[in-house]
Structure 1
Amino acid sequence: MSVLVDTIVMLGMLVVVPAGLRLTGAPELDRIRRLWPLFAAPGAVSLWLPRGSPATALAACYALGAALLALHAPPRLLRTVRSTTTHRAAPAEIALLTALVTPSVAALALVAERSGHTLFGFGLGILALTVPHFHFAGFAAALVSGLVCRVTDSPGGRFAALSVPLGTLLVLAGYFIGDWAELAGAVVLTAGMWTVALLTWRTIRGRGRDRVTRLLFGTSAAVLVVTMVLALSWALGEATGLPHPTLTWMAATHGLGNALGFALCSVLAWQRLRNGAGSTRTAPTRTVPFLTDPLPTDHGGRTS
């Protein structure tokens, strides 16, 4: 399982996070995105070294980058609180704030695991699985839910953009409170992710002009349905004692599916849409609203 998990984590560090940061369209994140390989490369190398000081030092480099990314969240939150913009933009912003913070949770677990020390009483195996979880169920899921919210501008989109961060927070709290709290988090997170899948399939996928873009969106939506069923079955089994998949099986199915089928396909599809390659419109760039764009208005100046 270790090789598979480490490979999934590398994908999150080196591909999904920087690609996701580009999708936000936030100018203040451009610098950290350009510097990201300087943090992600040492973090990726640390995965393949034996536990000890060298691996810990390299993991700490990644933690520094994740911390710098998280530091962008408080000023954005302050601007959101002070903003007079319609409250309909708030769910997407909450999703983005969640995406900015979750890699630091993964990085903290990585440093502890690479050093060979438990953290808050959690063993090394749980810490190792926490790293990919907060890259994909944390960063990627929150980012994509925010993008879906901005593009659809619907109650379903706002529900997804709020429930995915809430579910992620509840899952994290469940680590400390107990299995039933983690199950509650899994239920909320699944509801949000299934909403993302539904909106992606019904609304976002149709924006793709070319077959590749539509296939990427369709794959990400279909994979979410299956992987979140697995997440629910595991959380339910942990809470009730009912038979459920093992962690090894979850890594090979739920983890790999979310990494490749959902996160990677999603960021590639959204990037194509952002660049105009997969858009139904003729404009070459910025064909859909992204997380930093104002909500569209009608001719009377009201929010549409």
Structure 2
Amino acid sequence: MNTLDAVVAPVVTIGMLWVVPTGLGLVEGPRPPGWDALRRAWPLLALPGAVSLWLPRSGAATALAACYALATLALALLAPARLALTRSARPAELAVLTALVCPSVAGLALVAERASYPLFGFELDLLALTVPHFHFAGFAAALVAGLLCRSAGGGVLAGAAALSVPAGTLLVLAGYFVDDWAELVGAVVLTAGMTAVAVLTLRERRDLAADPVTRALLGVSALVLAVTMALALWWALGEATGIPHPTLTWMAATHGLGNALGFAVCSLLAHRRLRTAPGPAATTTAIPRTLPRTELPA
């Protein structure tokens, strides 16, 4: 296992086994058939993918990664099913739909990387980093942006966060196929969205978090974003212009680790605590499982 793999494997393991099912448990509103069953079974379904990360690139690792990719495809198929139920294109809902689809991009990249196949001509190290990117910037960040938009009751900043985080993630992906300048545009949009998420998180910490543990988790998740997204901009700008910038391994150990543990894990833990806390915080952030038809756009 090389240095990059040694950094990426533990982070992605957490994303696969804990972040995805925890995030799914926080999504309220209409749930398509199979949602709860998939969420409960997710750690078992994700286990082959997690094991594949710790094996050398080989046929066995590829087969295990393919099992996980199938699970991510099943998750992605819940997006159109949910859309059929909600018939909503509101920013918070679009963020949730994006979160459901993003792990499938990670699953595909994982299969190619474990098979030592340069999918679309991408180097294996870039494919390896695509896996955590679409678990954390893709799934976790989009989901948190959607949760914050719902708990804030909408508003310009909340809507901007719920739209720009998914848009930035997808623009970064598109930049892989275009050039470094296009990827820089995606990084700028994603950073703007994550900045809005940080501001909304601090507002939530001030207004809703009563206990010190939840307040600390929200505070850490917001402050970590300021550092990690500055690093992301530095790297993207360096790739586009040629100015000195961190290596991929250094980015994985700083930006990647910070976003995974400092932002995603802390934020999801905080939202789970807010959801289960007694009193106003729980009722403020809770989202009804079914939405009245009068609240849905025609």
Letter in 2 for 1:244: H
Give CA deviations for 1:28-47 in whole Å, capped at 9, x if unaligned.
32111011122211110001
Task: Indicate the residue corresponding to 1:76 in structure 2.
Answer: 82
Distance 1:135 1:266 in 2: 14
Give CA deviations for 1:188-220 in whole Å, capped at 9, x if unaligned.
000000000011112344311110000000000
Task: Indicate the residue corresponding to 2:56 in structure 1.
Answer: 50
Aligned in 2, Cα 1:268/1:291: closer, same or farther, shift over 3 Å? farther
Distance 1:290 1:168 in 2: 25
1:110 lines up with 2:130 in the alignment: no
Letter in 2 for 1:178: D
Distance 2:144 2:28 in 1: 13
Task: Indicate the residue corresponding to 1:134 in structure 2.
Answer: 134
CA positional deviation for 1:114: 0.6
CA contact (8 A) 1:96 1:291 kept: no
Distance 1:265 1:30 in 2: 23
Task: Indicate the residue corresponding to 1:96 in structure 2.
Answer: 96
Distance 1:37 1:245 in 2: 33
Alignment of 1:178-193 (within 5 A): 178-193=179-194
Aligned in 2, Cα 1:144/1:292: closer, same or farther, shift over 3 Å? farther
CA contact (8 A) 2:180 2:239 kept: yes
Distance 2:252 2:67 in 1: 26
CA contact (8 A) 2:66 2:111 kept: yes
Task: Indicate the residue corresponding to 1:171 in structure 2.
Answer: 172
CA contact (8 A) 1:43 1:60 kept: yes
Distance 2:75 2:252 in 1: 27
1:209 lines up with 2:210 in the alignment: yes
Distance 2:204 2:19 in 1: 23
The normalised TM-score by structure 2 is 0.92
Give CA deviations for 1:273-304 in whole Å, capped at 9, x if unaligned.
1111xx6528xx65513485659x9xxx9xxx
Distance 1:161 1:291 in 2: 19
Alignment of 1:288-299 (within 5 A): 288-290=285-287, 294=291
Give CA deviations for 1:32-75 in whole Å, capped at 9, x if unaligned.
10111222111100011111111111101110110000001112
Task: Indicate the residue corresponding to 1:121 in structure 2.
Answer: 121
SS at match of 2:120: coil
Task: Indicate the residue corresponding to 2:46 in structure 1.
Answer: 40
SS at match of 2:119: coil
Percent identical across equivalent pairs? Answer: 64
Distance 1:246 1:8 in 2: 18
Aligned in 2, Cα 1:109/1:161: closer, same or farther, shift over 3 Å? same
Distance 1:266 1:24 in 2: 14
Q: What's the Cα RMSD here? A: 1.9
Letter in 2 for 1:121: G
Which of residues 7, 20, 23 is equivalent to 1:20? 23
1:11 lines up with 2:14 in the alignment: yes
Give CA deviations for 1:82-108 in whole Å, capped at 9, x if unaligned.
x5xxx7xx1000000000000000000
CA contact (8 A) 1:275 1:286 kept: no
Report the more deviating stretch, 25-34 or 182-191: 25-34
CA positional deviation for 1:116: 1.1
Instruction: Identify unmatched segments of 5+ residues in structure 2.
Output: none
SS at match of 2:285: coil
CA positional deviation for 1:79: 3.8
Task: Indicate the residue corresponding to 1:161 in structure 2.
Answer: 162
Aligned in 2, Cα 1:291/1:258: closer, same or farther, shift over 3 Å? farther
Report the more deviating stretch, 249-258 or 201-210: 201-210
Distance 2:214 2:175 in 1: 36
CA contact (8 A) 1:18 1:33 kept: yes
CA positional deviation for 1:76: 2.2
Distance 1:50 1:4 in 2: 15
CA contact (8 A) 1:98 1:139 kept: yes
SS at match of 1:222: helix
SS at match of 1:159: helix
Distance 1:168 1:38 in 2: 27
Aligned in 2, Cα 1:292/1:235: closer, same or farther, shift over 3 Å? farther
CA contact (8 A) 1:219 1:262 kept: yes
